[in-house]
Amino acid sequence: MRDRPPPTTTGPGLSRRAFLGRAAVLAASGLAAGACSYVGPGFSGTTHSSRTLTYWNLLGGGDGVRMQTMQAAYAKANPTVDLRPVTLTWGNPYYTKLSMATIGGQPPDVAIAHLTRLQALVPGGLLQTIEDADLDRHDMHPDDFVGTAWRQAHFDGKLYAIPIDTHPFVLYYNTDVAKKAGLLGDDGALAPIDDPDALVDALERAKRVTGGWGAAFSSTNDFATVWRLFYTLYSQLGGKVLEAGRVVLDDAKAEQVTTLMRRLTVDSQVAPAAMDYGGAVALFASGKAGFFLQGDWELPTFKDAKLPFDMRPFPTVFGQAATQADSHALVLPRLDRPDPERTDLALGFAKSLLDQSLTWAEGGHIPTWLPAQRSADYRRLKPQSNYVSVAEQVVYDPPAWYSGSGSSLEIEAGGAFGSVMGGRRSPAEGVARFRTGLDRLSSAPSPV
């Protein structure tokens, strides 16, 4: 038993005490250095230098790569600006961070937001309005934007976002399969499909050619795609879901839609009743399905797979031309103290992105910047320019705080109508289930 504490040094060399002391000094100096960087202002509550532009987005994958190209072009043209882009996960994680950063007084200067999410961000006072004078200074005019997107970017008559694209729900088709199935018209494009029977017939013919499925469609673990199909067809019937905060779901029209959805998977079995997103992409890319129903963003995937394919607006099977879509837009989070210099920098960045709309369009999205959309270069982009007509006739998600991309409304719809497509609920039951969910959401106290 020792009655002396053991020595802290074991001969020559670093003692424990000396090591801890030096480590503490290093840590302290690291903190001091950090005070000059991004972290420092966060702790001290000051804002960063006025030549720094922080930019948040939720664009990953192919979109992310394209956005980085556009960011690099902006940085090259504006060498005095320190652009700091941050990419966050799509969906809830992004909007949560955006709103909390704004409330906490440390928002990014400019951020991407879906136009359908404005209805949650604006009433909470999280966004700055964009004034006409500011737009003029940066050579952006209302007439230069697609009308539907421009109107959607307004709230109570004021502008809150600058739309950069619209991404609608489209119909992809394998040109080889369509040719063999006799579905191409004289011009080599898909012959028009005008009613539900024609749609099912076309898919059945494709199924016979592929030996697999007529159309690849994902409903497992994918509420968004199910919602997009439902809302496209329902809007084609002229149906509305919400009006002035009230549920105005038309049961008869909704049931017509769910009956057609069920017909595709259960009755005619031209689309799988159980397939997830990745599986559906794989089915179409490998030629086991002749058609693919999804948003336009998978274009690069199939181009890379060297698949012979084309894209068209989703066929108007129910009378009125309508397609579900959402738009990416640039928003200016509210600052505690208005800073015209930062706003100016942000708008300059927005204009730069709009000028590079053609680069962005290569990802499949329709540019909402009309000078780019109407240009000859864009018209030459195939198959993007094949569905550009859809841009003015898109319908955005119903107006409510619980609606928008990735919202509770879409989740409810995906659950209710997904079970119809899976054969577990009848079309009428699916509509009733959706109505129950809608009633609960609309009667909950609004958090905005």
Binding site for another protein (CB under 8 A): 92-93, 96, 99-100, 103, 120-121, 123-126, 219-221, 223, 272-276, 278-279, 282, 401-402, 406-408, 411, 414-416, 418-419, 422, 424, 440-441, 444-445, 447-448
246-247 and 110-114 as β-strands: parallel, antiparallel, unpaired?
Answer: unpaired
Structure tokens at 176: 């080889």
Is the distance from CB of 261 to CB of 420 less than 8 angstroms? yes
Q: How far is the CB of 445 from another protein (least distance, A)?
A: 6
Burial of 429 (0-12, 13-18, 19+ CB in 10 A): middle
Q: How far is the CB of 220 from another protein (least distance, A)?
A: 4
Residue 124 or 300: the one with the smaller Cβ distance to another protein is 124
Q: How far is the CB of 385 from another protein (least distance, A)?
A: 34
Residue 388 or 416: the one with the smaller Cβ distance to another protein is 416
Residue written as token pair 């951020």: 111
Q: How far is the CB of 122 from another protein (least distance, A)?
A: 9
| Spatial separation of the C-alpha atoms in residues 90 and 57, rounded to whole Å | 9
Q: How far is the CB of 248 from another protein (least distance, A)?
A: 21
Residue 137 or 424: the one with the smaller Cβ distance to another protein is 424
Q: How far is the CB of 29 from another protein (least distance, A)?
A: 19
Amino acid at 373: Q
Residue 168 or 333: the one with the smaller Cβ distance to another protein is 333
Strands annotated E in 199-314:
213-216, 242-243, 246-247, 289-295, 309-313
| Spatial separation of the C-alpha atoms in residues 187 and 193, rounded to whole Å | 15
Residue 64 or 124: the one with the smaller Cβ distance to another protein is 124
Residue written as token pair 């230098």: 49
Is the distance from CB of 120 to CB of 448 less than 8 angstroms? yes
Residue 103 or 428: the one with the smaller Cβ distance to another protein is 103
Q: How far is the CB of 215 from another protein (least distance, A)?
A: 15
| Spatial separation of the C-alpha atoms in residues 19 and 2, rounded to whole Å | 25
Residue 268 or 419: the one with the smaller Cβ distance to another protein is 419
Residue 120 or 325: the one with the smaller Cβ distance to another protein is 120
Is the distance from CB of 288 to CB of 213 less than 8 angstroms? yes
Q: Could you give the dihedral angle defined by the CA atoms of residues 13, 17, 20 and 24, in that order, rounded to the nearest 10 degrees?
A: -120
Residue 192 or 278: the one with the smaller Cβ distance to another protein is 278
Burial of 159 (0-12, 13-18, 19+ CB in 10 A): middle
Residue 191 or 273: the one with the smaller Cβ distance to another protein is 273
Residue 119 or 384: the one with the smaller Cβ distance to another protein is 119
Q: How far is the CB of 408 from another protein (least distance, A)?
A: 5
- Residue 160: C-alpha distances to residues 33, 146, 212, 326, 369 (Å): 37, 15, 47, 16, 16
Structure tokens at 280: 């559906």
Instruction: Tell me the CB-side half-sphere exposure of residue 40, using CA atoms within 13 A.
Output: 12
Amino acid at 173: Y
Q: How far is the CB of 395 from another protein (least distance, A)?
A: 22
Q: How far is the CB of 103 from another protein (least distance, A)?
A: 5
Q: How far is the CB of 77 from another protein (least distance, A)?
A: 35
Is the distance from CB of 160 to CB of 153 less than 8 angstroms? yes
Report which of 83, 260, 230 is spatially closest to residue 169, judged by C-alpha positions.
230
Report which of 202, 204, 253 is spatially closest to residue 230, judged by C-alpha positions.
253
Is the distance from CB of 347 to CB of 81 less than 8 angstroms? no
